[in-house]
Amino acid sequence: MTDLTGKVALVTGAGSGIGKAAALTLGKAGANVVVMSRTASEVDQTASEIRSAGGESLALSADTSDDAAMAELINRTVSHYGRLDIVVANAGINGVWAPIESLKPEEWDKTIAVNLRGTYLTIHHAVPHLARAGGGSIIVVSSINGTRTFTTPGASAYSVTKAGQLALVQQLALELGDRKIRINALCPGAIESEISDNTEQRGKELTEVPVEFPEGDIPLTDGAKGKAQDVADAVLFLASNASRHITGTPIWIDGGQSLLR
């Protein structure tokens, strides 16, 4: 039920971490995978790995917050493969985490632009093609932050974008249902990835609420972070016919972390 042969998938933020793992997993399941990131060298590598494993892939570069760039990317995807069936809206940044009074408007705007506007533009341009293909699956990568937990010091902009992504998913589940388009949200907790590379944190001591966690705050793994593959396997499930009656649903992938926090 997870055979995706003949399907076309677009994965944003596919150069590393969760996006790369998702792209490789979809490729192994038989999908033709369009891998997208702002960094061409990274998605070129991801596409090369998919092909080396016997799959088919196209690497494209774009900024998800750029309307014209995303319109062109989706059009190139459909021109190349003839259809679009699966969209994984994964591209995002942590941005700046700082006390609200010192968080600059331009810092707030950048996080909103990449995480929330980028998700909107990806879906906005993809939906007509998904509908034309007779339906499909959209998977939005959100977070435990803003959906279950609010204890990350200074992460107001980030949490707002992740909460907004989940609200968008639930709104669109009803709007898109009659076109047989399913949309769901994955909400990872701590995952081994490179996203921390684009995080700037200031004034942690001013916003942190002291909490003493039990030994190992991820119960399922004795405190160890999850793997990108843990999220990628959930992407495969939601992309496939195995999840045919699931839409508008958040899935927390955190080993129980958010239930403690």
Q: What is the 3-state secondary structure (H, E, C) of the chain?
A: CCCCCCCEEEEECCCCHHHHHHHHHHHHCCCEEEEEECCHHHHHHHHHHHHHCCCEEEEEECCCCCHHHHHHHHHHHHHHHCCCCEEEECCCCCEEECCCCCCCHHHHHHHHHHHHHHHHHHHHHHHHHHHHCCCEEEEEECCCECCCECCCCCCHHHHHHHHHHHHHHHHHHHHHHHHCEEEEEEEECCECCCHHHHEEECCHHHHCCCCCCCCCCCHHHCCCCECHHHHHHHHHHHHCHHHCCCCCCEEEECCCHHHHC
Is residue 183 within 8 Å of residue 261, measured between CB atoms?
Answer: no
Selected catalytic residue, list 158, 230, 239, 253: 158
Better pLDDT: 222 or 94: 94
Predicted confidence (pLDDT) at residue 260 exceeds the cutoff of 90: no
Tell me what the mean pLDDT of segment 222-250 comes to: 96
Q: Can you give the pLDDT at residue 259?
A: 87
pLDDT band of 215, cuts 50, 70, 90: low
Q: Can you give the pLDDT at residue 24?
A: 98
* Residue 120 annotated to the active site: no
Predicted confidence (pLDDT) at residue 195 exceeds the cutoff of 60: no
C-alpha atoms less than 13 angstroms from C-alpha of 229 in its C-beta half-sphere:
3
CA dihedral 100, 103, 105, 106 (to 10 degrees): -150
Predicted confidence (pLDDT) at residue 61 exceeds the cutoff of 70: yes
Give the Å distances, CA to CA, from 87 to 43, 97, 115, 182, 184.
16, 28, 15, 10, 11
**pLDDT tens per residue across span 145-191:** 999 999 899 999 999 999 999 999 999 999 999 999 999 999 999 99
Q: Can you give the pLDDT at residue 209?
A: 63
CA distance 147 to 167: 9
Q: Can you give the pLDDT at residue 231?
A: 97
Mean of pLDDT over the chain: 93
For residue 159, give both structure tokens. 């949490």
Q: Can you give the pLDDT at residue 217?
A: 76
Percent of the chain with pLDDT over 70: 91
pLDDT band of 64, cuts 50, 70, 90: very high
Scan for tokens 């699956």, then name that residue. Answer: 137
Paired residues of 213 in beta bridges? none
Q: Can you give the pLDDT at residue 214?
A: 54
Domain ranges (residues) in the chain: 8-260
Predicted model pTM: 0.92
Predicted confidence (pLDDT) at residue 29 exceeds the cutoff of 70: yes
Tell me what the mean pLDDT of segment 63-83 comes to: 98
Percent of the chain with pLDDT over 90: 84
Is residue 34 within 8 Å of residue 8, measured between CB atoms?
Answer: yes
For residue 88, give both structure tokens. 């994984």
Predicted confidence (pLDDT) at residue 192 exceeds the cutoff of 70: yes
Predicted confidence (pLDDT) at residue 83 exceeds the cutoff of 60: yes
Q: Can you give the pLDDT at residue 118?
A: 98
Paired residues of 86 in beta bridges? 9, 137
Tell me what the mean pLDDT of segment 76-102 comes to: 97
Q: Can you give the pLDDT at residue 216?
A: 58
Nearest Cα residue to 260 out of 221, 231, 228: 221
Q: Domain 8-260 adopts which CATH fold?
A: Rossmann fold (3.40.50)
Q: Can you give the pLDDT at residue 204?
A: 60
Say how many C-beta atoms besides its own lie within 10 A of residue 189's C-beta.
Answer: 25
